[in-house]
Structure 1
């Protein structure tokens, strides 16, 4: 079964919009795990517009499943991850002012830099995943960095699948096959939803984990978060 890691950034966005502590991010994290999710993902950004660095620290005592912290490995982020020691760190090449993640790493151009970062996290027994587009050269480059896994950036698939283009899955299938051959674990995330997750899962061999936030929280407004978490779990079996 592919693991479901719930990204709770949007809960923090809602909380921050009014100040105070409603909704309670820590309670949501605890409840989502109680409902069956196998992981919690956060993506703190330098401006802390949703997840705050203190949230990452506070969640450490709440997350008893897999704890995944995503972000661009700038100095402050690296220090935060080393302090929190999550199960996994996912390296994402976000610009400081990026609205959301919009590209994977060029693992060829950034091989030396990523090697250094991966090595630092491995010294602290933290699993490392590298966010990549479904491009075979980038998968091969990710292997050279020493990373344990890749996370496939799935926005292009989600957009095209929504238009009825099922062939959009092909580059992702090929990328996953190559990653498996190279000994890299395969994660995926970005714009995956209840509408496309079954098709995606069916076509990605040995998919270990999906990280889903925006769609899951939006769907929960209508269907309830406990119900939605279990709908994803059923689709990922």
Structure 2
């Protein structure tokens, strides 16, 4: 086991969804899916799980011990007023002012935006499920966490599964990627906030099973489900590149800290 800089880094997954039976059976739960995608076992990292959807949160005095946080997707609306969602917004505001690294995925991307002053709501163009091409609209290399990453392509394919979206980013945020379906696919705030609407952690089988569940509960129609699956299996998501982006974001030390925040 290799420990970088003599310090074991510590991360937390803020899980905003219950484990599906499929993911429990195939992966042992969403926690394992995220750690597999974003973790680096060789560096002796420690990852903790907080099921925020079940009102399980880290204590305030624990936050200082973590190097970064990841917020998962969720079947809940990021603009909802459930107690745990409001509590999560307060937590995210605290993490922002502490300048902790926070990565939001799908619902996490949206609730992060909401907590920091942006606007989220139902997607104007309805459900987006399957593979989607993202267009990078900002020079990502200007961020210190990606300064030594190989050149990032101007277009990336990512797995999507959402019917809500970010309408307006918080003040001071920068939109990094858009798509023909969604105006805010990725956004950053400095080097410590990153939101991604799609799912860099998802495998095709996970989203295929999710499509089946959405069809069975009446959330989507059969023609839509068939089209989403067909599109999903015609091409490959750029998982390796997206995982690299997320890992670099979470693990690279910030080069500048604004002492006025």
For normalisation by structure 2, the TM-score amounts to: 0.32
Larger fraction in helix: 1
Larger fraction in strand: 2
For normalisation by structure 1, the TM-score amounts to: 0.35
